[in-house]
Amino acid sequence: MSGRETDALQRAVEATLFAAEQPMRVEALAAHLGDADSAAIRHALANLAAHYAPRGVHLVERDKRWHFETAPDLAYLLRRTSEHVRRLSRAATEVLAIIAYHEPVSRAEIESIRGVQTAKGTLDVLLEADWVRIAGRREVPGRPVIYATTPEFLDHFGLASRKDLPGIDELRATGLLDPVDDAYDALMGENSGDAPAEHGDIDEYDQID
């Protein structure tokens, strides 16, 4: 393998190809190295290629041009993916919930339910997370895109089907809505009788399915 006295030409070729911005032909190398002998350069290239063969970097010839490149089995090192965990924002959680309870649903419908505009990025996040898919277009003027949940969504939330989502009445019974309800009651406090009528939406949704 590579000798202890790496010979001068071999070192020169090694350094030149390392620093080169383009793959180089033997002739170009020879010219660059002060009209060195082509045969000697070929010999040096062969030695170098053999030396690098087991290493993390290879010296390769393509179309008569030589260059260094990362060993093919290590190519995965050049492009790594790093995963990091992030909590879904509140807005995205709400949009996801609306899609889950109402699907299939258009963006305009989501917005009318939420009472606020929905940023494009919010839906993108849900699509990227693979919890929401585009389920086609609503056959109304403008043919808006409609969204629905994915099997991955059910998986992630441990739901056998969308019917497992609790209805509003159940939510209230389990106290899930209390923080908001308290605030609401405080506002309406004096006259207990005026609280808005119970919503029967959930049943309707169930019928939708």
Partner 1 sequence: MSEQELMFMQESSGADADWINPGSAPDGDTALYLELDGWEGPLDLLLDLARRQKVDLRAISILALVDQYLDYVDRAEALRLELAADYLVMAAWLAYLKSSLLLPKDEQEDPSPEELALRLQLRLQRLGAMREAAARLMARNRIGRDVFLRGKPEGLRIDRQTQWQCDWYALVQGYGQVKVRTAPVVHMVRNRPVMTLESALDRVSSMLGVTLDWIALEEFLPAYAEPRLRRSALASSFVAALELARIGKAEIAQDSIFGPLRLRRIVP
* Interface residue list for its own copies (CB under 8 A): 1-2, 4-6, 10-16, 18-19, 32-34, 51, 54-57, 68, 70-71, 74, 77-78, 80
Question: Closest separation between CB of residue 178 and partner 1, Å?
Answer: 9
The one among 5, 63, 139, 209 contacting partner 1 by CB under 8 A? 209
Report the alpha-carbon distance of residue 96 to residue 148 in Å, rounded.
9
> Which amino acid, residue 86?
R
Task: Answer with the entry of partner 1, its own copies, none that 157 interacts with (C-beta below 5 to 8 A by kind).
Answer: partner 1
User: What phi and psi, each to the nearest 5 degrees, are found at residue 148?
Assistant: -145, 170
Mark the segment that binds partner 1 (CB under 8 A) among 6-14, 42-50, 135-143, 182-190. Answer: 182-190
Q: Which does 191 bind (CB under 5 to 8 A by kind): its own copies, partner 1, none?
A: partner 1
Is 10 exposed, middle or buried, given 0-12, 13-18 or 19+ CB atoms closer than 10 A?
buried
Q: How many residues bind partner 1 (CB under 8 A)?
A: 75
Q: Is the dihedral of CA 28, 34, 35, 36 positive or negative?
A: negative
Q: How far is the CB of 130 from partner 1 (least distance, A)?
A: 9
Contact 110, 97 (CB under 8 A): no
Q: Does position 81 bind partner 1 by CB under 8 A? A: yes
Work out how close the CB of 62 gets to partner 1 at its nearest, in angstroms, rounded to a whole number. 9
Is the Cβ of residue 46 or residue 184 nearer to partner 1 in the bound state?
A: 184
From the list its own copies, partner 1, none, which binds 119 (C-beta under 5 to 8 Å, kind-based)? Answer: none
Distance of CA 12 to the CA centre of its chain: 44
Backbone angles phi, psi at 34, to 5 degrees: 70, 50
Q: Which is nearer to its own copies, 48 or 110 (CB)?
A: 48
Contact 71, 65 (CB under 8 A): no
Residue 71's contacts (CB-CB under 8 Å, 6 or more residues apart) are 55, 56, 57, 58
Site string for partner 1, 113-152 (x = CB under 8 A): xxxxx-------x--xx-x---------------------
